């Protein structure tokens, strides 16, 4: 994400959430974890632009 932010890209960012390595989580738990990680990526992007 830092490399993307360094290009001053301001478009949409998407993640492909695959639960292959998270079989021990319920679907809800997995999606909550995916959301948490997406928010962390967004924070990295915003911090780079400030």
pLDDT in tens, 3-12: 887 888 888 8
How many Cα atoms are found within 13 Å in the side-chain-facing hemisphere of 4? 14
pLDDT score of 25: 93
Residue 3 phi, psi dihedral angles, 5° rounding: -65, -40
Map out the domains of the chain as residue ranges.
1-7+24-50
Q: What is the pLDDT along the chain (50 residues), one digit of tens a residue?
A: 778 878 888 888 787 878 788 889 999 999 999 899 889 888 887 786 55
Residues 6+ apart with CB under 8 A from 8: 49
Q: Residues 5, 7, 32, CA angle at the centre, nearest 5°?
A: 25
Strand, helix or coil for residue 21: coil
Count the neighbouring beta carbons within 10 Å of the beta carbon of residue 18: 9
pTM over 0.75: no
């Amino acid at each position: 994400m830092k490399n993307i932010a360094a290009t001053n890209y301001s478009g949409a960012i998407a993640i492909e959430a695959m639960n292959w390595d998270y079989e021990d989580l319920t679907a809800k738990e997995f999606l909550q974890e995916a959301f948490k990680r997406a928010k962390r990526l967004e924070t990295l992007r915003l911090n780079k632009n400030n």
